[in-house]
Structure 1
Amino acid sequence: MSTANGLRPAALLAIAAALSAAGCQSNKPEAVLTPPGKSAALRKMEKVALAAHTCWFASKDKAFRAYGFANELNSMSGQPRFLLVPKGNFGGRPLLVVEAKGGAATVDAYGPLLDGEHGKRISADLNRWASGDPSCVARA
C-alpha cells in the first residue's frame, strides 16, 4: 500500500521518526553550536549552563538526582535558557527555568524549585555564576 505521494506507510514512519529525533534536546551544554557574534545573553547563559551542569549534575550532587538538565541555549527567541525537568522526562513540565535576555544579559530564574528546600542555594549558585564566578561552592 502507498500514499497519494507514492511513499509507503513504513517510509513515512521512518521520516517522521528522523524528524522527531532531530528536534530532541541535548542534555549537555557543551553540545551547543552558535554562530559568530554571539549575543551577550547567549555568552552569559553558556557560562551559567556549563557551571550548573558541572556543579549540579556532573558532580552527582544529591540535591539534583531527581532532575534532568534540558539545554535550550540555541533558542531562536533570543532568550537562551536551560531547564530542570523530572529525570528521564525531557518533555515534562519544567521545575526550573533559567534564561538570559537583553543587552545587559540579565539572568532570570523561575519555577517551583525556587520555593523548595534548595531554593536559596539554587538562587545563590545562579547569582554567583551569572556574576562570572564558576565555582561550585560559595567562597567565604
Structure 2
Amino acid sequence: MMTGELLKPNIKFKLDLPENERGAINGTVYAKLQNVNTNESELNKQVFALLALNRFIADNPFQSLAGGTSVSSIARSSVSKLLTEQLNNLASDLIKGVDINFGLNSSEDYSASGSKSQKTDLEIGLSKKLLNDQLNCYCG
C-alpha cells in the first residue's frame, strides 16, 4: 500500500488471502497472516522472502531445516532460479524464430561417493516451429 506524496511515497505491506480461501485449514493460515500483519519486522521479512525466494520463511528457519535441507541448498536453489530466469530473458532475443530455454538446477547428490555433495546441472533446450506452427521440433 502506498500513501503520501508521489516523490516521497510511504510504502507499507499487507499479506492477505482471497475471501473464498480464508477458511482453508480451519482458518489457521488466515489467522497466521493476520498475526504477521501486526508485527512490522516479521511482515517485512516475509514480504522480502516472498520476493527473493518465492516462499515464506519459518519463525525459526533453522528449525525447518531439520528435514535435511541446508541453508546453502536453499540459497543455491534461489540463485539457480534467478540465473535461469535471466538466461532465458537474454536468450529470448538471440536467434529469431528459435526458442532457447535454460534450466539451472542445484541439488544434493549422494550417488558418487555415498556422502552428500552439491551438484549443479545446466539444461539447454532448443525448439523451432515449422510449417506455419503446425510442427514443433524440440531438442533438449
The normalised TM-score by structure 2 is 0.27
The higher relative CO (CA closer than 8 Å, separation ≥ 6) is in 1
The normalised TM-score by structure 1 is 0.27
Write 1 or 2 for the structure with the bigger share of strand: 2
